[in-house]
Amino acid sequence: MSTPQNSRVQARPRVPAPSFARSVWLVATREIIARLRSKAFLISTGLLLLISIGSVVAGGIASQNQSLPRVAVVGSATQIIERTEAFRIVEADDVAAAEKLVRAGDVSAAVVPATGEADPLGVRIIALDSPPLDVLGTLSVSPAVSLLDPAPQSGGLVYLVSLGFGLVFFMSAITFGSTIAQSVVEEKQTRVVEILMTTIPVRALLGGKVVGNSIMAFGQIVAIGALVSIGMAITGQSGLLGTVGPSIVWFAVFFAFGFVMLAALFAATASMVSRQEDVGSATSPVLFLVMIPYFLVIFFNDNAAVLAVMSYIPFSAPVGMPMRIFLDTALWWEPLLSLAILLVSTVVVILLGSRIYSNSLLRMGARVTFRQALRG
């Protein structure tokens, strides 16, 4: 008969704690799966992709539907109008027939031979009630024009590109940043974070949230850029794609690092409160940092000085530098310098945010002040 002293109890083998990198990836995977299962996220992403591809298709259809003005011509005036290649020609038998087409509204004007008149072109223009400026502008002889500071792009195109960059940056940063903030406060309010911290280091928890949501945000940006590029190629806007394409690539690169910085700030500021109702007030400084570049690029997209300053400030560089690349006002080394500044700033913000996050995550009740979060 065995005695207690002789009995042997089989001890369970102790499972080693996961490494720091493994812990980060576990949290990041959890964040990614949570986003993919969220109907609100899927619907908002789908709408954003539809808006992006829809704007490209609409632009392609509008450019293809631009028709040349119709002009009636008589006799020898046909050769003059044909050389301009700026009008759709409607041949008329005589001047009376051309005037009839003008009165009926079938053509915007008529160009007929000038008989007995001193005209260098030998033609005269017949219109209904006002001078046809498009015809006059094409046939008139203008002096040579020299631009001291020529604009590389049209004003309308510059505005649309700035609106696109600003809107995508604003929506993606706000969507994923708010998701991080709500997740942090939810785990803190339900005390789930206390269970997680028994296995996972607090910095790994922060790193996983930042990495997971950054992957999703960057994937959204890449998907938008790919759809826009494919849409331009299909709709015959290859020339525009060659102009906008490099700036889109740089926007994706700058956004990848810029969002990591913003994600760390969203997580750090959210950890300073314990209720969902206080998330908005806690993260409002970060929201301002996201909103300011959006409004600046919309209102000052043609201001070289403002864009130059924006391209070197870490929070606005993801929008300012791609716009300068699109406008061809940045030297070859400026994007690299701006990216280096952004990388250094991101590292500093991550270290600062990690300290705030670690010192505030287990504090419940009243809101943690910035000084308390730094002192620990």
Q: 32-87 pLDDT, tens per residue?
A: 998 888 887 888 888 888 887 877 777 666 655 556 778 888 887 777 777 777 77
Nearest to 107 by CA among 85, 92, 93: 92
Nearest to 261 by CA among 323, 320, 210: 210
* Whole-number Å distance between alpha carbons of 44 and 172: 10
For 89, which DSSP code? E
What are the backbone dihedrals phi and psi of residue 125, each rounded to the nearest 5 degrees, phi first?
A: -110, 135
pLDDT at 267: 93
Q: If DSSP states are collapsed to H, E and C, what string results for 111-156?
A: EEECCCCCCCCCEEEECCCCCCHHHHHHHCCCCCCCCCCCCCCCHH
Residues near 52 by beta carbon (within 8 Å), at least 6 away in sequence:
168, 224, 227, 228, 231
Structural contact between residues 113 and 123, judged by C-beta atoms closer than 8 angstroms? yes
pLDDT averaged per 10 residues in sequence order, the chain, 376 residues: 49 65 91 87 84 75 65 81 77 85 85 69 79 74 63 70 87 89 88 84 90 91 86 75 85 93 93 88 90 89 89 93 90 94 94 90 81 79
Residues near 120 by beta carbon (within 8 Å), at least 6 away in sequence:
141
pLDDT at 7: 47
* Whole-number Å distance between alpha carbons of 346 and 15: 35
Tokens representing residue 253 in the block? 């690169």
* Whole-number Å distance between alpha carbons of 122 and 344: 69
Residues near 20 by beta carbon (within 8 Å), at least 6 away in sequence:
201, 203, 204
Nearest to 181 by CA among 144, 209, 155: 209
pLDDT at 65: 54
Provide the sign of the torsion angle of the four alpha carbons 145, 147, 151, 153, taken in this order: positive
**This prediction's pTM:** 0.74
* Whole-number Å distance between alpha carbons of 340 and 251: 15
Structural contact between residues 349 and 290, judged by C-beta atoms closer than 8 angstroms? no
pLDDT at 125: 82
